[in-house]
Amino acid sequence: MSRLLVFLALLMSVGCGGSSSLRGPVGSANSSFPLKTASQDYLLLLAKFPEDHQGEGLDLSFGTFKEQPMTYGLVLTSEALRFRASPTEEGRRRVRKAVRWLLDNSDLDHDGKPGWGYPDAWDAFADGSVNPANHPYTITTAIGLSGLLDALSLPNFWTLAEREEIRAALTGVSLRWCREVWQETASGGYFWYSPVPVDNIFVTNVSATLLGDLSRVLTEQRDALSVSEANLVQDRVRAAARMVVSTAQPRMGNPFWLYHERDPISPNDLVHHIYTLWGMELYRSSGVGEGVPWTTQQAIASVDAFWRDGIVHDFPQDVTYVGSQAPYQDQPAFLSGTGSMLAFYVRWSDVPRTTRCFNYLVSAHGPLPDLHIWPLSFSNDTNFYPRVVVAALWGIALRDFNWAAG
């Protein structure tokens, strides 16, 4: 691969997750998918995430073999979906162990404040500012937050003491980001990329993902907050949503965005486009917001724009890329993008789109369970990277269980 594509692979591997709603998707009433049991697809892939080390594995970005909070967050979301629809003792253990890991490792940088990040040092924007190992990031924290929300939603699962411990973690993270990792702007505001001033950058998908999770905190766990705390979180959510709306670049009414404010030309790749839409759809459905100008159907149409000639691409194909962006025209989707697309289609779209996306994922990145980060026609990298592959687990979990959950 060219240096550009290697860079994009590393960049896209950073964002491989999202939050999940436990309600059924649009158009799911006539679903032909199983409602109560896990498919062989799901179980085969789940086995690649060992029960006692569900977030451990080789990481593409860092080349190390460590526990990744982001992986734990999405495995937890997937397993919460499975347990709600089809309870098993293994599922119970997996949910409890993933929650325990996230709670016990919510301050790995030992600054006395909650959050989740990466176990390796990282210069996020290649600007010379290297954050140390276990520095928290907004996107990894949002994915951990959504996993805990999904676990907490399981009925008759937790003791009162356990529920309060999880709720304390949720509120601690929510209030830290609303108070300390926040920037007001003329267009609203945004959550920083990470809790250090050098990362005070508006990255669309990052802020959108967190605002979606905080919308859920307000609707699902509002009584864990005081009145003043809930008002603060609601004000931040609304302002962050206004910022995302104000920076949208609609085409035919369908919303698209640039990746971040310091790069005026690079569009969101597929996984970050899904993160942005997911957060805004959660915001729309939460009832705490002020409205979203595009419809859910227009959001779906924007995702459809990443298809061309039967291939899922990393960048929308409704435009022509020239100059330094010319490689975007033919670059196939990274696995975290395809897996997140599958999740979005299940949650917000319909069975035909879901089926088409799953069939493509397996044929391009498979066979299951040893999924590859790129189609083998594009890259010969056959390593298994759990933090990337977990997006596919999430998508398949939604396919198998979401329609039975609501």
Q: Give yes or no for residue 96 having a pLDDT over 80.
A: yes
- State the Cα–Cα distance between residues 158 and 161, nearest whole angstrom: 8
Per-residue model confidence as pLDDT tens digits over 317-376: 999 999 999 999 999 999 999 999 999 999 999 999 999 999 999 999 999 999 999 998
Per-residue model confidence as pLDDT tens digits over 41-74: 999 999 999 999 999 999 999 999 999 999 999 9
DSSP structure class, residue 399: I
Q: Give yes or no for residue 297 having a pLDDT over 60.
A: yes
Closest CA to 309 of 380, 360, 257: 360
> What confidence category does residue 405 fall into, taking pLDDT thresholds of 50, 70 and 90?
very low
- What percent of the chain shows pLDDT beyond 90? 84
Q: What is the pLDDT of residue 13?
A: 42
Q: Give yes or no for residue 388 having a pLDDT over 80.
A: yes
- Residue type for 338, please? T
Give yes or no for a contact between 329 and 8, defined as CB atoms under 8 angstroms apart: no
- State the Cα–Cα distance between residues 27 and 31, nearest whole angstrom: 8
Mean model confidence pLDDT for the chain: 90
- State the Cα–Cα distance between residues 122 and 61, nearest whole angstrom: 9
Q: Give yes or no for residue 17 having a pLDDT over 60.
A: no
- State the Cα–Cα distance between residues 150 and 164, nearest whole angstrom: 15
Q: What is the pLDDT of residue 1?
A: 38
Q: What is the tally of helices (H) and strands (E) in the chain?
A: 14, 6
Question: What's the burial of 261, exposed, middle or buried (CB within 10 Å: 0-12/13-18/19+)?
Answer: middle
Which of residues 26 and 81 earns the better pLDDT score? 81
Give yes or no for a contact between 152 and 170, defined as CB atoms under 8 angstroms apart: yes
SS3 category, 190: strand
Per-residue model confidence as pLDDT tens digits over 212-271: 999 999 999 999 999 999 999 999 999 999 999 999 999 999 999 999 888 888 899 999
Read off φ and ψ for residue 251, nearest 5 degrees.
-130, 120
Query: Which run of H or E residues covers position 312?
Result: strand 311-312
Q: Give yes or no for residue 2 having a pLDDT over 80.
A: no
Q: What is the distance in angstroms between the CA of the first residue and the CA of the last residue of the chain?
A: 43
Q: What is the DSSP string of 218-258?
A: HHHSGGGS-HHHHHHHHHHHHHHHHHHHHT---BTTB---B
CA distances (Å), 356 to each of 270, 302, 338, in order?
16, 16, 11
- State the Cα–Cα distance between residues 323 and 341, nearest whole angstrom: 27
Q: Give yes or no for residue 114 having a pLDDT over 70.
A: yes
Q: What is the pLDDT of residue 20?
A: 32
> What confidence category does residue 38 fall into, taking pLDDT thresholds of 50, 70 and 90?
confident
- Residue type for 107, please? D
Show contacts of 318-321: CB within 8 Å, 24+ apart: 318/251, 318/252, 319/251
State the pTM of this model.
0.91
Q: What is the pLDDT of residue 55?
A: 98
Mean predicted confidence (pLDDT) in 1-22: 37
DSSP strand pairing (307-308 vs 188-191):
unpaired
> If DSSP states are collapsed to H, E and C, what string results for 299-358?
HHHHHHCCEECCEEECCCCCCCCCHHHHHHHCCECCHHHHHHHHHHHHHHCCHHHHHHHH
> What confidence category does residue 198 fall into, taking pLDDT thresholds of 50, 70 and 90?
very high
Q: What is the pLDDT of residue 262?
A: 82
* Cβ atoms within 10 Å of 227's Cβ, excluding its own: 8
SS3 category, 259: coil
Q: What is the pLDDT of residue 36?
A: 55
Which of residues 403 and 398 earns the better pLDDT score? 398
Q: What is the pLDDT of residue 32?
A: 44
List the chain domain ranges. 3-405
Give yes or no for a contact between 68 and 55, defined as CB atoms under 8 angstroms apart: yes
**Radius of gyration of the chain, Cα coordinates, nearest whole angstrom:** 19
Q: What is the pLDDT of residue 220?
A: 97
- State the Cα–Cα distance between residues 220 and 241, nearest whole angstrom: 19
Which of residues 40 and 240 earns the better pLDDT score? 240
CATH of domain 3-405: 1.50.10.20
